[in-house]
Amino acid sequence: MPIPKPTRAEPAVFIALGANLGDPREQIRAAIRKLRESFRGALRASSLWESTPEHCPPGSPPFVNAVVEGVPHADDSPEQMLDRLQALEREFGRRPKKLLNEARPLDLDLITWGDEQRNSSKLVLPHPRAHERRFVLVPLHELAPELRFPGQTRTVTELVTALPPDPAFRCLGPV
């Protein structure tokens, strides 16, 4: 089933996925299968990418990352989506943080919800650090190179081009 084209009333939603415990590739694939229930129509998914852990405890294994795009159900909200993402993380074995940026079986971040901008104790949109993270920007570039994060002036292509080189960051192939 093709992904529906978002309309003004139907925002495109982007979610970043990451995992570095268990079988990260399979964790991402399984999470994408589960995420399909939260969207109207099909999801588009980037390739899988391997990244070096950033600001993580020493010895943390590499992350596998991807980004998906979908159109939410008409009666859905960003807060409801966030609740479902957090429930899915728990379903995959994520526990409350003991250490900042510790290894995890699944990490799901709501990156954008159309042009929405939010800044509450529960949710910040767009994701406050997405515009500077290679492991979000490069997979996102596959899906939406001309996207501008709400409140930002540069496109995803321009943000990716401005990133410093990272020889350890590599494409692992399709989801």
133 is catalytic: no
Measuring CA to CA, how many Å separate 122 from each of 62, 98, 104, 138, 157?
Answer: 28, 19, 21, 26, 29
148 is catalytic: no
29 is catalytic: no
CA distance 101 to 53: 9
Given 94, 115, 118, 148, which residue is catalytic? 94
Tokens of 30: 């399984």
107 is catalytic: yes
- DSSP-derived secondary structure letter, 155: B
Given 29, 40, 109, 148, which residue is catalytic? 109
Tokens of 141: 């570039």
Written as one letter, the residue type at 49 is: W
Give the residue numbers marked as catalytic.
94, 104, 107, 109
